[in-house]
């Protein structure tokens, strides 16, 4: 009897976890199903490029997963019952319920409107491909001289503003940040950021918390109105709402609380990776929503599942940070080196070399989805019969 592993979501973390499990375990022992709504892998770290008019390389899962033994199920997840150990999905043929022994929850996150009035109606987002394509189409219809305001001074906001300004120098691009521009960076990093923004002609509104969005402007907390033919909202992410509707232990924001192996603290047959998980990192600080956190978390979860099924040694590799990689258009970049718990140090890399570095990181992330075997032996391990059938008998602790 095969142990049924279902992975929900085929972003960076879900796809890596599924592929790594397939490399860890024998096909005779496990059935791995990867559920995703789209047939192609989405390079989320490049959505600002897609929005700015660039064409990205297609990455169909039919090619990326070929020969792995992973069964791709094209469907939308509508419900998860962690007590009955089932997942409800819907596809072109209708609704269906899938049973699992082990679940990997990797449904990720989308944009977060932060409850600001008018955002949902008037703002554009780049948290996923549909939003990026919608913004791309809107930018293409803008006449020279019209204003694009990017709201949010984090990594996504910086990349979006510079990419749009470089691709469309005829537009008036502005960035509205709650604090100072790049205020978490080292002095040299902040200086380079201002230099690039100045060269690209981007207007910066600092200490400008946006409290309202209209069709032609945004309003800040101090009552200032900033003209905006297009508003791009990049103020953070909100996790997929399905987990919060289950009996899983979640945070107030809906993230699944997990231990060091990415295993749910309330339901031991459930693992969560990526933005969907609340995992603690160095300094007892929560890991931030990012590819930098999600990729090693996916390795950790897959290795832990394989170890528990085969009686192997559990992984013990604490997740830490090394740098923050920021693209500033196609010709400029900024690499901010950080401590293990993600605090900026003095060392930075800037300019063309930093842009090449970031591009290699993006290519490496996509390569890792199709080749999730870093640190793995080539030999798959056998799942014991007792462990293969144990999942259905596991219940949440009282």
Residue partners of 265: CB distance under 8 A and separation at least 6: 249, 257, 258, 259
Q: Which of 96-130 are b and which e, b meaning 16 or more Cβ less than 10 Å from the residue's Cβ?
A: eebebbbbbbbbbbbbbbeebebbeebbbbbbbbe
CB 237 within 8 A of CB 112: yes
Report, at the CATH architecture level, how domain 3-37+75-110+237-312+381-393 is classified. 3-Layer(bba) Sandwich (3.50)
Residue ranges of the chain that CATH labels 3.50.50.60: 3-37+75-110+237-312+381-393, 117-233
Query: So what CATH class is 117-233?
Result: alpha beta
pTM listed for this prediction: 0.91
pLDDT digit string (tens) for the chain, length 398 residues: 899 999 999 999 999 999 999 999 999 999 999 999 999 999 999 999 999 999 999 999 999 998 899 999 999 999 999 999 999 999 999 999 999 999 999 999 999 988 999 999 999 999 999 999 999 999 999 999 999 999 999 999 999 999 999 999 999 999 999 999 999 999 999 999 999 999 999 999 999 999 999 999 999 999 999 999 999 999 999 999 999 999 999 999 999 999 999 999 999 999 999 999 999 998 889 999 998 899 999 999 999 999 999 999 998 888 999 999 999 999 999 999 999 999 999 999 999 999 999 999 999 988 888 887 665 554 566 776 555 555 443 333 33
The residue whose two tokens read 């992975």 is: 7
CA 263 to chain centre: 19
d(CA 117, CA 267): 37
SS3 120: helix
């Amino acid at each position: 009897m095969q142990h049924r592993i279902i992975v929900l979501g085929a972003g960076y973390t879900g796809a890596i976890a599924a592929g790594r499990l397939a490399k860890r375990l024998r096909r005779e022992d496990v059935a791995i199903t990867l559920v995703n709504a789209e047939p192609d892998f989405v390079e989320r770290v490049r959505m600002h490029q897609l929005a700015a008019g660039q064409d990205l390389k297609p990455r169909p899962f039919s090619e990326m997963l070929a020969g792995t033994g992973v069964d791709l199920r094209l469907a939308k997840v509508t419900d998860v019952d962690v007590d009955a150990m089932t997942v409800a999905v819907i596809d072109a043929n209708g609704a269906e319920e899938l049973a699992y022994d082990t679940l990997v929850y990797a449904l990720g996150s989308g944009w977060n409107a932060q409850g600001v009035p008018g955002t949902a109606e008037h703002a554009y987002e780049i948290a996923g491909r549909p939003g990026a394509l919608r913004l791309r189409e809107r930018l293409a219809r803008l006449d020279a001289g019209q204003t694009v305001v990017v709201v949010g001074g984090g990594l996504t906001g910086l990349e979006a503003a510079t990419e749009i300004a470089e691709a469309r120098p005829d537009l008036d691009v502005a960035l509205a940040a709650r604090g100072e521009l790049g205020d978490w960076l080292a002095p040299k990093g902040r200086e380079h950021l201002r230099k690039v923004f100045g060269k690209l002609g981007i207007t910066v509104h600092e200490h400008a918390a946006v409290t309202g969005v209209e069709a032609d402007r945004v309003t800040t907390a101090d009552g200032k109105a900033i003209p905006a033919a297009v508003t791009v909202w990049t103020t953070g992410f909100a996790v997929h709402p399905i987990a919060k509707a289950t009996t899983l232990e979640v945070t107030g924001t809906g993230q699944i609380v997990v231990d060091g192996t990415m295993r749910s603290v309330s339901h031991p047959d459930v693992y969560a990776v990526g933005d969907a998980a609340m995992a603690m990192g160095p300094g007892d600080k929560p890991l931030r929503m990012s590819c930098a956190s999600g990729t090693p978390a996916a390795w950790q979860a897959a290795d832990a599942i394989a170890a528990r099924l085969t009686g192997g040694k559990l992984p013990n590799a604490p997740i830490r940070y090394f740098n923050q990689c920021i693209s500033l258009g196609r010709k400029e970049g900024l690499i901010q080196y950080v401590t293990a718990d993600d605090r900026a140090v003095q060392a930075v890399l800037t300019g063309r070399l930093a842009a090449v570095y970031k591009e290699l990181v993006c290519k490496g992330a996509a390569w890792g989805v199709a080749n999730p075997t870093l640190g793995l032996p080539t030999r798959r391990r056998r799942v014991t019969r007792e462990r293969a059938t144990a999942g259905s008998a596991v219940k949440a602790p009282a």
